[in-house]
Structures are given as C-alpha cells and as structure tokens.
Amino acid sequence: MKLAVLGAGAWGTALAIRFADQGPVTLWCRDTEQTAEMAREQQNRRYLADVPFPEQLSVTADLGLAIANVDAILIVTPMAGLRPTLRALTALGNQAPVLWACKGLEAGTMKFPHQVADEELATGIARGMLSGPSFAQEVAAGKPAAVTIAASDAEFARSTVEALNTPVLRLYASDDLIGVEIGAAVKNVLAIAAGVCDGLQLGLNARAALLTRGLAEMSRFGAALGAKPETFMGLAGIGDLMLTATGDLSRNRRVGLMLAQGLKLEDILTNLGHVAEGVPTAREVLRQAEALNVDMPITRAVCQLLFDGKVVADIINTLMGRAPRMESEV
C-alpha cells in the first residue's frame, strides 16, 4: 500500500516510519524549513531525534505531491488541524480513503472527527480512525504495540488492517467508530486527572479508584452516543487509558502533574511545548455530557481545575463526598 501521512509531529513521524516497513510512505510537513531539514538529515530531529528514516520514507511540503497516486491517506495532526486538512484534500480533488489519528472533539462544536470528516469529505470516500495505546517514541523505535483501525464500514477496516499490519505494530479492526473516538477523547481527560492524583502523591489505591470510575464515565458517555460496550474493554478504551494515565511519556498526564504543583494552565502549556489534547477536549466532552444528561464527575472536576481556578483540595473533597450508591449506578 502506498500511503501519505499528513503531519510530521512525533506521532505522524513514528507512524510513517513504521508503515514504511510495508510500502512507500510520503510524510507531509507544512513547515518548509523542517521538511528540508528532515530530507537532508533523514530523521525528524525536532520531534524524534536519532531515529533514522527507512528507505521507503520520503518527505515533502507539497500536499498535492504527497497525496498523488496514493492508496490511502492518514491524517496525524492535532484535532484543530483536522478540518483544514480535510478541506485542503477536498480542494485538491482527493478520492483516496482517509484515516485520521486525531483524538478529541472539535473545540466550539463538540463534534467528533468522523462528524467533521462527514462535513468536509465527498460522499463515497472511505474513512476511519487509527487509535490505541501507543507512544510515538516506542513505535518509532520498533518496540511492539497494538492499535485499532475503526470504520463504520467493517470491510474497509479489515482490508486496511491487512494492508498496513507490521511485524511490530499489530493492527485490529473495529466497526465501532464512535466508540473508538470516544475512548481516544475521554482517556486524555482522565489522564490529566491521574496526573493530578500522582502529583499529589495520593497513592496507588486512589489512582486505581480514579481510573476505574473514569472508565465508568467513558462507558456511560459511550452508551449515550450509541457505542458498543466492548470497545471500552479493548485497545481503544481501557488499553489507551491505562497507558496515557500512567506512562511518563504522556503529555496529558504531565499536565495533571503540573496542575498538582499549582502552576497556571498557560504556564503549563508553555512548559509542555506540545499539544495536550485533553485540555480543549475536557470542555467539549463535559458540554456534550451535560446535553445528554450523562454524569461525568471526574471530567467536571478536570474542567474546574483547568478553567475555573478551583483548588485541588476542594475538588478532591467534592469527589470523595459524593453520596454512596451501587457501583453500577450512574
């Protein structure tokens, strides 16, 4: 399969490197200076230093050239970049299938990636999402990982998995696109909460309780939107949640760690230097949950810490002071 990967951050570069094991890959970068540097040095020094590009990986800043005669396109931008990238593809007359690895909801609209794609892509273009527990550095280094490709068209998901599966990046197919998108979005919010928990040294018991109840929130939200319950027990649900909430490479967890230190959000984002999708996503998830009458107390607590200036101690007291109930209840 000839593939175009659009977005030359750490994750886009890692996927481009890995999928080049299976066939020719063109990595598109909108920054012409960075593109020239990558072409010259045959690595992405800015985001994945010392990981050499394989022979079948090329780079370009020309979007039209990147997507010429490809079998599929994989968009690996922040969520904010999905709509403009899709519009650019449509303007170029693209007819190739489109996958995305963008995680979250669109700021201001509460829309999931597939809803954005439905608005921007021509009818008939196959589409889907890649998601799952995976850090870019490890994937690029060839360490074993497994992720999910989800599409409403199950046959498209299966055929894409067969074409892209590699010896070290195992792919699984799913037809629960909304469920996979929900897992990808909500786990980032919960990872911020887990970072706060760890930053305050509340203990392993507290973190286990937090993530278990967080998974319940994710599942309730998913049920209200028509997702399949089993999706949240898989790679795109509990798998991605556990990695993002506990792994030291997680940007969203680092946001929580810095919140626990009392840093302001603008300073946290400056120090981070990368996009932490859980920050804008938290507000959109909570807005949609409230519209659906779905109780998400941990997500609400994260929003209060991020945007309302609430004190961590007060948030903990509120969560722990909730009325006792059956575990299976909302």
Please report the pLDDT score of residue 310 as a whole number. Answer: 87
Please report the pLDDT score of residue 330 as a whole number. Answer: 58
- In the chain, the domains with their CATH numbers are 3-175 (3.40.50.720), 185-320 (1.10.1040.10)
- Interval 91-145: pLDDT, tens: 999 999 999 999 999 999 999 999 999 999 999 999 999 999 999 999 999 999 9
Q: Please pick, among 103, 143, 187, 264, the residue that the annotation labels catalytic.
A: 187
Please report the pLDDT score of residue 329 as a whole number. Answer: 67
Segments in the chain below pLDDT 70: 329-330
Q: Report the predicted TM-score, pTM, of the whole model to 2 decimal places.
A: 0.95
- Interval 28-38: pLDDT, tens: 999 999 999 99
Measure the CA–CA gap between 79 and 116, rounded to whole angstroms: 10
Q: Catalytic annotation on 187? A: yes
